Amino acid sequence: MLYRGVRLIQAQEWRERNDAELNSLEREFLDESFALKQRIEEEEKKRQQREREAVVERRRRRLLIGAA
């Protein structure tokens, strides 16, 4: 039930202005929410890279088949 999307962005902006008001549990919650966002973004980048590599491989195979 971590924050995501707009709620996380708003919480991050609020935190930048009011960090001293957070207790350790709230700080940990926001840290974990941000860490989840980073993991999701990293996984998406990896997925996109795999897709690009697959496209290149398909093109390479077509060229090899066409050259044979």
Closest C-alpha among 53, 66, 33 to residue 22: 33
Query: Whole-model pTM?
Result: 0.75
- The reported pLDDT for the residue numbered 18 is 96
Per-residue pLDDT tens for 9-50? 999 999 999 999 999 999 999 999 999 999 999 999 999 999
Q: Is 4 left (phi over 0), alpha (psi -120 to 50) or beta?
A: beta
